Amino acid sequence: MKDYKYIGKNVTRIDALDKISGAATFVDDIDFGANLLYAELIESTEASALIKKIDISAAMKVKGVYKIFTGKDFHNRFGLYMKDRYVFAQERVRFVGEQIGAVVAFTPEAAKSAVALVKVEYEPLPAVLNQMDALQSDAPLLHPEVENYPRVPWFYPKAGTNIAHWRKTRKGDLGKGFAKADVILEDTYSVPRYAHCALETHIAVAKFDHSGRLTVWSSSQSPHTQRHLFAEALGLSHKDVRVITPYVGGGFGGKAGVTMEIIPAVLATQLKGYAVKLRYSREQEFTNTYQRLGVVAKIKMGATKDGRITALEHKLYWDAGAYVEYGANVVNAVGLSASGPYCIDNVSIDSVCVYTNLPPGGPYRGFGYSEMLFGLESHISRMAQQLNIDEVEFRRINAIKPGDETAYGAKMNPSGLQDCIDKAAAAINWGKKPVSEDPTKVIGQGFAAFWKAPAMPPNASSSAFLKFNEDATINLLISGMDIGQGYQTVMAQIAGEILSVPPAKIRVETPDTDRNPYEWQTVASHITWSCGNAVKNAALDAREQIFSLIHRVYHYPVDVLYLEDEAVKCKTDSAFILPLQNFVVDGIMTEDGTFKGGPVNGCGMFMPEFSSTKDNPETSQGGHPNVHYTVGAAALNLEIDKETGKMKLLKVALAIDAGKAINPDLVRGQITGGLLQGLATVLYEDMRFNEKGKLLNPNLTDYKIPTAKDVPEEIIPIIVEVPQPDGPFGARGIGEHTMLPAAPMIANAIEDALGIRIKSLPITAEKVALTFLQEKAKQ
Partner 1 sequence: MKEISFMLNDEPRNVQVEPNEILLDVLRNKLGIKSPKCGCERGDCGACTVLLDGKAVRSCLILAVEVENHNITTLEGISRAKLSALQEAFMEFNSFQCGYCAPGIILAVTELLEKNPHPSLEEIKESIAGNLCRCTGYTPIFDAIMSLTGKGTK
Given the rule CB under 8 A, which residues bind partner 1? 12-13, 15-26, 28-29, 31, 196-201, 247-252, 281-282, 483-486, 665-666, 669, 672-677, 699-701, 705-709, 711, 715
Torsion angle, CA of 704/706/708/712, rounded to 10 degrees? 140
Q: Among residues 484 and 717, whose Cβ is nearest to ligand FES?
A: 484
- Contact between 706 and ligand FES by CB under 6 A: the answer reads no
Q: What's 700's DSSP letter?
A: T
Min CB(284)–partner 1 separation in Å:
12
Q: Among residues 15 and 319, whose Cβ is nearest to partner 1?
A: 15
Between CA 243 and CA 463 the distance in angstroms is 17
Between CA 144 and CA 618 the distance in angstroms is 23
Q: Among residues 471 and 713, whose Cβ is nearest to partner 1?
A: 713
Q: Is 736 a catalytic residue?
A: yes
Min CB(254)–ligand FES separation in Å:
13
Between CA 452 and CA 531 the distance in angstroms is 19
What is the DSSP pairing of strand 474-478 with strand 506-508? parallel
Between CA 291 and CA 307 the distance in angstroms is 38
Torsion angle, CA of 109/114/117/119, rounded to 10 degrees? -140
Element holding 141 (H helix, E strand): none
- Contact between 250 and ligand FES by CB under 6 A: the answer reads yes
Q: Among residues 135 and 700, whose Cβ is nearest to partner 1?
A: 700
Between CA 85 and CA 99 the distance in angstroms is 11
Q: Among residues 598 and 706, whose Cβ is nearest to ligand FES?
A: 706
Site for ligand FES in 586-605 (CB under 6 A): none
Residue 403: count other Cβ atoms within 10 Å of its Cβ. Answer: 10
> Of these partners, ligand FES, partner 1, none, which one is at the site of residue 112 (CB under 5 to 8 Å by kind)?
none
Min CB(247)–partner 1 separation in Å:
7
Site for ligand FES in 478-497 (CB under 6 A): 484
- Do residues 621 and 614 lie in contact, with contact meaning Cβ atoms separated by under 8 Å? no
What residues pair up with 567 in beta bridges, in sequence order?
564, 579
Residue 653: count other Cβ atoms within 10 Å of its Cβ. Answer: 25
Between CA 216 and CA 32 the distance in angstroms is 12
> Of these partners, partner 1, ligand FES, none, which one is at the site of residue 696 (CB under 5 to 8 Å by kind)?
none
Min CB(485)–ligand FES separation in Å:
10
- Contact between 254 and ligand FES by CB under 6 A: the answer reads no
What is the DSSP pairing of strand 595-596 with strand 214-218? unpaired
Min CB(365)–ligand FES separation in Å:
13
Min CB(196)–partner 1 separation in Å:
8
- Do residues 110 and 63 lie in contact, with contact meaning Cβ atoms separated by under 8 Å? yes
Contacts of 424 (CB under 8 A, 6+ apart): 447, 632, 633, 634, 635, 653, 654, 655, 718
Min CB(652)–partner 1 separation in Å:
10
Min CB(197)–partner 1 separation in Å:
6
Between CA 340 and CA 435 the distance in angstroms is 32
Strands (E) across 580-714 are located at 588-589, 595-596, 601-606, 630-641, 647-657
Q: Is the dihedral of CA 615, 620, 623, 626 positive or negative?
A: positive
What is the DSSP pairing of strand 214-218 with strand 241-244? parallel
> Of these partners, ligand FES, partner 1, none, which one is at the site of residue 122 (CB under 5 to 8 Å by kind)?
none
Min CB(23)–partner 1 separation in Å:
8
Q: What's 29's DSSP letter?
A: G
Three-class secondary structure of residue 46 per DSSP: coil
Catalytic residue among 736, 751, 766, 775: 736
- Do residues 637 and 651 lie in contact, with contact meaning Cβ atoms separated by under 8 Å? yes
Residue 226: count other Cβ atoms within 10 Å of its Cβ. Answer: 26
> Of these partners, partner 1, ligand FES, none, which one is at the site of residue 16 (CB under 5 to 8 Å by kind)?
partner 1
Residue among 632, 647, 630, 674 at smallest CA distance from 748: 647
Between CA 336 and CA 42 the distance in angstroms is 39
Q: What angle do helix axes 527-554 and 487-499 make, rounded to 10 degrees?
A: 20
Beta strands across the sheet bearing 561-564? 561-564, 567-570, 577-579
Three-class secondary structure of residue 267 per DSSP: helix
Min CB(352)–ligand FES separation in Å:
34
Q: Among residues 62 and 758, whose Cβ is nearest to partner 1?
A: 62
Residue among 493, 602, 728, 615 at smallest CA distance from 156: 615
Between CA 490 and CA 661 the distance in angstroms is 10
Q: Among residues 199 and 770, whose Cβ is nearest to ligand FES?
A: 199
Min CB(687)–partner 1 separation in Å:
16
> Of these partners, ligand FES, partner 1, none, which one is at the site of residue 593 (CB under 5 to 8 Å by kind)?
none
Min CB(482)–ligand FES separation in Å:
11
Q: Among residues 195 and 553, whose Cβ is nearest to partner 1?
A: 195
Q: Among residues 250 and 622, whose Cβ is nearest to ligand FES?
A: 250
Q: Among residues 172 and 250, whose Cβ is nearest to ligand FES?
A: 250
> Of these partners, partner 1, ligand FES, none, which one is at the site of residue 12 (CB under 5 to 8 Å by kind)?
partner 1
Question: Which residue number has the CB closest to ligand FES?
Answer: 199
Site for ligand FES in 183-212 (CB under 6 A): 199
Torsion angle, CA of 152/357/141/191, rounded to 10 degrees? 70
Q: Among residues 482 and 752, whose Cβ is nearest to ligand FES?
A: 482
Binding site for ligand FES (CB under 6 A): 199, 250, 484
Instruction: List the catalytic residues.
Output: 736
